[in-house]
Amino acid sequence: MTDLAASRSTLYLSPGPSEAKVETAAAPLVVPRPQSLARPKRRVAGLRPGLILAGLFVALLALAAIAPGWLVSGDPFEASARDAFLAPSAQHWLGTDENGRDVLTRLVHGVRPSMLMGLAATVIGLGGGVAIGLTAGLGRRFFDGLLMRFVDVLLAFPDLLLALVIITFWGQGLLNAVVAVGVASIPRYARLVRSQTTKVRGATYVEAAVTLGIRRSTVIWRHVLPNAIKPVLILATIGVGGKIAAGASLSFLGFGAPPPAPEWGAMLAVGRNFLANAPWLVAAPALAITLTVISVTALGRELMRRSEGAGG
């Protein structure tokens, strides 16, 4: 009963490997299918190598975040003014920065704050969004209106601007940046959760549960919440990439961890001043940020595609 929607999703959208093979091999003419089924599958098949690369890259990032010492041996803080601005070489694969620190070492050590930013900020945004969205979606009409108008006001600000406002009040630092980016994304999630909640709230299985006399809190916990949150969760995985970019933007603007912490955005901010004489200072963190955001987003999109139609 609970898993009405979920089971529907398995029915619709788990493209088993064999099926996919048939699909590509037998080309368009055989097996007349409804369009809605055929289209996502073809895309999935086409994306596969890219997806594998994205997956590998994310795995590598995870490793760098957990144990940067396995990938690089140097100290990201070891500075020596006499070794500054060395071009990429056998000794320094990505060159050295303005303080003579190894760029590759700093890049790898910068993975952890970036990933932390992406994940923690998403958790904060999701947590806050679910709380507000559920309350609004299940609460009284007046209360719902009040909360949602407030959320509308917040939505009028771009996320990054909202994060900047929060940082201005609380000061800079990695933790504050995480909280700022997370809180700034609450309104968006709140809106989504609320609309899902109102939809699920009227679903027949919820009606049935209520008719059966199940307690209100149990209905919310076992029936409404899981079904309302599922599509939001999937959207959130895509959001992780965006949060990493937002975190990099904040540290680019000088609101991240104070120097000498290795942060991609901060590395980029410094490097742009030396674009003409030391382009590797910009190239390395820029590529890292781009590849990370693309990989995480690609994985998130794939997840969404697989569950399309699940939450309605």
Partner 1 sequence: MSLSIRFTLAALAALALAACGGTPTPPKPLAETGAFTPYPASDYQQQQPGRAGGTLRISTAIDTGTLDFQTIAGTTPKWLGRLIFDNLVYLDDKGEPTPWLARSWTISPDGKTYVFKLRQDVTFSDGTPFDASAVLDNLKRIRDPATKTAMTTAYIAPYVDGKVIDAYTFQANLSEPYAPFLNVLAQSWLGMMSPTALRDHPKDLGERPVGSGPFVVESYERQQGIRFAKRADYHWAPDFVRHDGPAYLDRIEVDFVPEAMARYTSLVSGQFDLTMDAPPQNAVAIRADPTLVLGNRINLGNPTRAITFNTTTAPFDDVRIRRAFALGIDREAITRILGFGEYRPTTSFLSASTRHVDSAAGRDLAYDPARANALLDEAGWTGRDPQGYRTRQGVRLGADVLVQETASSGALMVALQSDAKKIGFDLRIRQLPATLLVKRRNANDYQAVGAGYWHTNTPDGLYIVYHGKQITSARYTGQNTSQLQDPELDDLLGRARASTNPAELQDLYAKAQRRLAELVPAPPLHENHTLLAYRRSVEGLVYDTSHNVPFLTTAWLRKDPA
CA–CA dist 62, 64 (Å, integer): 5
Percent composition of the chain: helix, strand, coil (DSSP 3-state, to 5): 75, 0, 25
Instruction: Write down the residue that tokens 């055929």 correspond to.
Output: 38
Among 85, 150, 157, 205, binds partner 1 (CB under 8 A): 85
Among 13, 15, 78, 131, binds partner 1 (CB under 8 A): 78
Q: Which stretch binds partner 1 (CB under 8 A): 129-137, 182-190, 223-231, 277-285?
A: 277-285
Cβ(149)–Cβ(203) under 8 Å? no
Burial class (CB in 10 A: 0-12, 13-18, 19+), 268: buried
Residue 93 lies near partner 1 (rule: CB under 8 A):
yes
Window 191-220: contact mask with partner 1 (x via CB under 8 A): ------------------------------
Q: Which stretch binds partner 1 (CB under 8 A): 157-165, 216-224, 241-249, 257-265?
A: 257-265
Residue 170 lies near partner 1 (rule: CB under 8 A):
no
Among 41, 58, 95, 223, binds partner 1 (CB under 8 A): 95
| Partners of 102 in beta bridges | 96
Q: Which stretch binds partner 1 (CB under 8 A): 66-74, 126-134, 145-153, 181-189?
A: 66-74
Residue 246 lies near partner 1 (rule: CB under 8 A):
no
5, 240, 230: which is closest to 130 by C-alpha? 230
Instruction: Write down the residue that tokens 């699920």 correspond to.
Output: 200
Identify residue 80 by its one-letter amino acid code.
S
Q: Shortest approach of partner 1 to residue 100 CB, angstroms?
A: 8
Q: Shortest approach of partner 1 to residue 300 CB, angstroms?
A: 22
* Distance set, CA 29 to CA 20, 26, 46 (Å): 15, 7, 19
Burial class (CB in 10 A: 0-12, 13-18, 19+), 137: buried
Residue 49 lies near partner 1 (rule: CB under 8 A):
no
Identify residue 123 by its one-letter amino acid code.
V
Residue 289 lies near partner 1 (rule: CB under 8 A):
no
Q: Shortest approach of partner 1 to residue 109 CB, angstroms?
A: 13
Residue 275 lies near partner 1 (rule: CB under 8 A):
yes
Count of residues that interact with partner 1, criterion CB under 8 A: 49
CA–CA dist 288, 273 (Å, integer): 19
Among 5, 58, 65, 94, binds partner 1 (CB under 8 A): 94
* Distance set, CA 22 to CA 30, 31, 38, 122, 261 (Å): 10, 10, 12, 38, 52
Residues binding partner 1 (CB under 8 A)? 60, 63-64, 70-72, 77-82, 84-85, 87-88, 93-95, 98-100, 104, 107-108, 171-172, 252-254, 258-260, 269-270, 272-280, 283-284, 286-288
